[in-house]
Amino acid sequence: MYTADIDPICKMHVDEKTQFKSIYKNKEYFFCSETCKKKFDELDKNVIRVRRSLKDKERISFGRLKREIIDPGICTLCGACVASCEVLSVINRKPALNGQCTACGVCYNQCPRTITTESSLIGSVQDVFSAKSAIPEVKGQNGGAVTSMLLYAFEEGLIDSAVVTVKSAEEPWRPMPIVAQTREDILRSAGSIYVHSLTMEALMTAIKRGSRSIGFVGPSCNIDAVHKMQNSPYGLLHMFMRVNILKIGLFCMDTFNYEGLKNFLEEKEIQLSTVLEMKIRKGKIIVRAESEHIFPLSDLDVYRNGSCTVCTDLTAEKSDLSFGGVGSKEGYTTVLARTGLGLELFHDAEDRGYIKIEPLGGKGLDNVLHEGKAKKVQMYMIKKRGALHIK
């Protein structure tokens, strides 16, 4: 039977019956020629191991390193790529090819500026799901999983209040953070408002009122604030030591300035008071009023909050559970269970009939990772857009 392997030096397929072999850490390596075998025996074997582990994965060429790191001007000139490959050298103060690239991916994976692991894109995760509410009254932004989780935790007595955001009664679509202490309050908080919400103020109100187990919902910047207040020895730690907070994070790419969003829609002859729903999907904002209007998200770039242009955490990495739209089919919410507590409560909510769970397919997770990466590297884009002058 013909068996083939990859020569770790030249990456050619070689017959395992070849006479050119080497054993390294109990593993046998095969070569096309004496030259490759000699190079292998002399080279740092760790580099070879990376090359081998990459052989079945996506082919990554130097072009990608050039496109993502060198051309945007964020290469630190550390020399890791050049040191890892014979066909690379520094030319005109930039790493460049001096021979044929075989797309082994080593340089890309060595570079300190590339993001190459799942956890560096979306934080640590124990399990991933697609979920939707099993409660008919819940009308959520995606699958209503957030609202149903809160209902479960509240009705099972696990939390005594929830910090959520509702629409202001005075100004349509102005976010109003509240301390929900009834089923009705939790139900009316369903849906997303793409404007910063002052959730920490409501959290402090809940604590001062004596709540001791609180469900808290917010995007990463809000979750980070809770995390800091829980852990910082300065200031308010003593208050946070007395409460348990279930941190429910929302994926978040952008929020917009309220007045800007309002003016934008009014220019299109859409009054905020008539808007029933806003959704962001695939680079578009979908506004449902008497009829449906779709605009490219880039039209709203000027109203994007400055804080969001430097934010690199899409999935609220410090949460117990994170929820988002990307990755799941219409009518479902993507859920990342991060902590043991989050995972246990999520399964219990299913057992008690509050949510329905499906596994998140590989493509769904790929989409989450893709969007996570877009967010992580957006700092680099600042340079591209010329907003900062980094030399």
**Closest residue (Cβ) to ligand FAD?**
140
Beta strand 213-219 with 161-167: parallel, antiparallel or unpaired?
A: parallel
CB closer to ligand FAD out of 31 and 173 = 173
Q: Which residues, in sequence order, are bridge partners of residue 355?
A: 133
Least Cβ distance, residue 241 to ligand FAD (angstroms): 24
Report the residue from 125, 250, 360, 377 that binds ligand FAD according to the rule CB under 6 A: 250
Judged by CB under 6 A, the residue of 18, 22, 33, 102 near ligand SF4 is 102
**Between 119 and 158, how does the x/- string for binding to ligand FAD read (CB under 6 A)?**
---------------------xxxxxxxx-----------
Nearest CB to ligand SF4, comparing residues 66 and 262: 66
DSSP state of 33: S
What are 62-66's contacts with CB under 8 Å, separation 24+? Answer: 62/87, 62/88, 62/97, 62/101, 62/103, 62/107, 62/108, 63/101, 64/108, 65/95, 65/107, 65/108, 65/111, 65/114, 66/95
Strands 333-337 and 321-324: antiparallel
- Cα separations in angstroms, 19 against 10, 55, 371: 16, 22, 47
199 contributes a contact to ligand FAD by CB under 6 A = yes
Strands 244-250 vs 321-324: parallel, antiparallel or unpaired: parallel
Q: Looking at 54, 75, 163, 355, which residue binds ligand SF4 (CB under 6 A)?
A: 75
Our finding on whether 104 is near ligand SF4 (CB under 6 A) is yes
> Does 8 engage in binding with ligand SF4 (CB under 6 A)?
no
Based on the shown chain and the rule CB under 6 A, indicate whether residue 374 belongs to the binding site for ligand SF4.
no
Contacts of 77 (CB under 8 A, 6+ apart): 90, 93, 94, 95
Q: What angle do CA 179, 341, 226 make, to 5 degrees?
A: 45
Give the number of other CB atoms < 10 A from CB of residue 92.
Answer: 5
For residue 318, the minimal CB distance to ligand FAD (Å) is 15
Q: Using the 8-state DSSP alphabet, how is residue 304 labeled? A: B
Tokens read off for 95: 């790493």
Q: Are the C-beta atoms of residues 71 and 384 closer than 8 Å to each other?
A: no
For residue 286, give the amino acid letter. I
Contact between 189 and ligand FAD by CB under 6 A: the answer reads: yes
Specify whether the CB–CB gap between 324 and 250 falls below 8 A.
yes
CB-wise, 96 or 135, nearer to ligand SF4? 96
Q: How far is the CB of 336 from ligand FAD (least distance, A)?
A: 11
Check binding of 9 to ligand SF4 (CB under 6 A): no
Decide if residue 81 touches ligand SF4 (CB under 6 A): yes
Q: Under a CB-based contact definition with an 8 Å cutoff, are residues 106 and 100 in contact?
A: no
CA-CA-CA-CA torsion sign (366, 294, 381, 306): negative
Binding letters toward ligand SF4, positions 287-306, x by CB under 6 A: ------------------x-
Q: And the tokens for 349?
A: 């909510």
Shorter beta-carbon distance to ligand SF4: residue 77 or 294 = 77
In the stretch 215-254, what mask flags binding to ligand SF4 with x, by CB under 6 A?
----xxx------------------------------xxx
Question: CB within 8 A of 306, min separation 6: which ones?
Answer: none
Binding residues for ligand FAD restricted to 314-373, rule: CB under 6 A: 323-326, 333
Residue 21 amino acid letter: K
Interaction partner, residue 175 (ligand FAD, ligand SF4, none; CB < 5-8 Å by kind)? ligand FAD
Among 54, 69, 153, 164, binds ligand FAD (CB under 6 A): 164
Instruction: Find, among 102, 70, 76, the residue nearest to 87 by Cα.
Output: 102
365 makes contact, choosing from ligand FAD, ligand SF4, none, with CB < 5 to 8 Å by partner type, with none
Binding site for ligand SF4 (CB under 6 A): 61-62, 65, 69-70, 75-81, 84-85, 87-88, 95, 101-107, 110-113, 196, 219-221, 252-255, 305, 307-308, 311
Binding site for ligand FAD (CB under 6 A): 140-147, 164-165, 175, 189-195, 197, 199, 217-219, 250-253, 255, 280, 323-326, 333
